[in-house]
Amino acid sequence: MKRRTALQASIGVVATLALAACGGGNTSGGSAGSASLTIALNSAPNSLDPAKVAVGPFLNYMDPAYASLLTRKADGTLAAGLADKWGYVGSGNTKFRLKLRKGVKFADGTPITATDVVDSIKYFQQGSGPGGSYVRPLTFSTPDSSTVVVNSPTPNPDMGALFTPAFMSGAIVSPAGLKDPKKLATATFGAGPYVLSAQQTVSNDHYVYVPNKNFYDQSAIHFKKITVKVMPNVNSQAQALKSGQIDLMYGTPDVAPTIAGNKSLTLLKAPTTWAGLFLLDRDGTVVKGLGDVRVRQALNFAIDRAAITKAVYGDFGAPVSQPAMPGYDGYSPEAETMYPYDPAKAKKLLKAAGYKKLTIPVNYGSFDPSTTKMLQAVQDQLAKVGVTLKLKGAANFGGWINDFLSKKYAATVLSPGQGGGENFYAQQAGFIKTGIMNVFAVDDKDVTAAFDRLGKSDPQSSGAAAKKLTDVIVRKALALPVSGTDTIAMYDNKLRDVKFGVGTAQLTPNVTWTSR
């Protein structure tokens, strides 16, 4: 199994915060290019607070203003960011050291110290964003003003990934921001190449970032302005892309074919994520039946994954029965054969568990058309075996978060669902007791044991351990995967260096793109 870099595609779950147009830091970077960059997303950020913001495409709101301790090279290996030296100390995968590069400053001009780094990560530990659950167990020491030593109570084979842009916990927040955390929701207090412009930003409509003159590498500032525009309708985005009003958007299987033959545009796709249902209520708190493994297995036998995938995703998806993608760490050929389409067996399992009929409340984001179509197809097929999905759509991401946190819904759909990457992180969010997606804090001892074995594994044994973790999750039917889907990016050919990170469902940070 090819090892891949970590993907953190789960999301922060926080209440919607009102976004006002205000910013922080200094502007007017000295070497910014003459071009501007405009990106379209289908939802405003749930917050601009790095400890609360959702990741995935929402990192487009964060990457300009918040530089990370570490970054990634084109081949996926770790690279320098605010820190220019890093690595494990000793053996056992429990101690990791970071050394800050000389002269780095926050956007407000204050120097970054090791104490600032620790204070920022401790703030993340208290946050509701995805980074919090991964760094919460860690402790820190500062041998000197530029060195941070990170200690994990349990082995972690990929600790450096936590400090890259995909996880946000390495995006260091300044003391000024930590002093009044409420301001973090609407302003930026980082050390990135740009800062949010209060004068040019309109909350929930568009967010404008301008160069930061205190960024340590002025040659890395490629645009005079980066704008992230909120456009809920993907067809409107496509029209704006064709007419030159925006430079990049995330496509869907429906809209992607509409740019075929347009020589001024490029379509980039990669098989990166699984779409389906997270079965949240695995202890049967809201829906008693979901506490029975036979019921969860019945749901998996009742789904014709091939038919749904063809109808919803066409050439941009493939059926999957597990929360991992082919070619990624943790993908299991054995797990893929566990649930062939067999509605008769589904009915038999439901009957054995004592259920002829069952109703499951599900929340989802109606702002994502592909997710909506997939879920409606699943709803139709489950109805044939006596299972009713009671759907609650949210028109924006903040609404999805509010519904998710309410614990009224026994299952949810996150689009994109968790994708590939190192299984140690990819499955932690949804299936470990402290995972950010495990809102009912379900504690499955078999999953925990498999997860712990993976954490202690060395490079020679980690591939097998990752597969075993996937096998446990699938055998116990802790989710209802349906399709492996492509992440689709569509952009104007004037952009350069737009690519998917190695083994992730995310594009490389927008600050690394250039324009001809």
The domain ranges of the chain are 36-247+494-515, 271-487
Amino acid letter for position 256:
A
Q: Which two tokens stand for residue 204?
A: 């929930």
Alpha-carbon distance of 419 to 29, in angstroms, equals: 36
> H or E segment at 492?
strand 479-492
Q: Which two tokens stand for residue 214?
A: 């205190």
pTM of the model as a whole:
0.74
Q: Are 419 and 9 in contact (CB under 8 A)?
A: yes
Q: Are 215 and 28 in contact (CB under 8 A)?
A: no
Question: CB under 8 Å to 322, separation ≥6 — which residues?
Answer: 274, 331, 332, 335, 336, 470, 473, 474, 481
pLDDT tens for the 516 residues of the chain, in order: 333 333 333 333 322 222 222 333 444 444 566 799 999 999 898 889 999 887 778 899 999 999 999 999 878 889 999 999 999 999 888 999 999 999 999 999 999 999 999 999 999 998 877 667 789 899 999 999 999 999 999 888 889 989 998 888 899 999 999 999 999 999 999 999 999 999 999 999 999 999 999 999 999 999 999 999 999 999 999 999 999 999 999 998 889 999 988 999 999 998 878 899 999 999 999 999 999 999 999 999 999 999 999 999 998 899 999 998 887 778 999 999 999 999 999 999 999 999 999 999 999 998 888 889 999 999 999 999 999 999 999 988 789 989 999 999 999 997 655 444 577 777 888 899 988 889 999 999 999 999 988 888 877 888 899 999 999 999 999 999 999 888 899 999 999 999 987 766 678 999 999 998
Q: Do domains 36-247+494-515 and 271-487 have the same CATH topology?
A: no
- Please give the CATH architecture assigned to the domain spanning 36-247+494-515: 3-Layer(aba) Sandwich (3.40)
Q: Are 228 and 41 in contact (CB under 8 A)?
A: yes
Per DSSP, which regions of 378-468 are E strands?
387-394, 411-412
| Strand-pair category, 225-230 with 206-211 | antiparallel
How are the residues of the chain apportioned to helix, strand and coil, as percentages rounded to the nearest 5? 30, 20, 45
The Cα-based distances of 128 to 50, 153, 394 in angstroms read 10, 21, 20
- pLDDT of 19: 26
Please state at what angle helix 305-313 crosses helix 369-383, rounded to 10 degrees: 150
Alpha-carbon distance of 423 to 166, in angstroms, equals: 15
Q: Are 3 and 327 in contact (CB under 8 A)?
A: no
Alpha-carbon distance of 461 to 456, in angstroms, equals: 9
Question: CB under 8 Å to 65, separation ≥6 — which residues?
Answer: 25, 107, 188, 190, 192, 194, 195, 196, 209, 212
Q: What are phi and psi for residue 68, nearest 5 degrees?
A: -100, 160
Q: Report, in angstroms and rounded to the nearest whole number, the Rg of the chain calculated over CA atoms.
A: 22
Amino acid letter for position 149:
V
- pLDDT of 8: 35
Alpha-carbon distance of 507 to 49, in angstroms, equals: 21
CATH 3.40.50.10330 for domain 271-487, yes or no, is: no
Amino acid letter for position 316:
F
- pLDDT of 318: 92
Closest among 254, 371, 363 to 308, alpha carbons compared: 371
The Cα-based distances of 45 to 10, 42, 268, 383 in angstroms read 15, 10, 24, 35
Tallying the residues shown for the chain, one arrives at 516
- pLDDT of 21: 28
Phi-psi group of 103: left, alpha or beta (phi > 0 → left; psi -120 to 50 → alpha; rest → beta): left
Alpha-carbon distance of 147 to 343, in angstroms, equals: 58
Q: Which two tokens stand for residue 277?
A: 């249902």
- pLDDT of 23: 34
- pLDDT of 417: 53
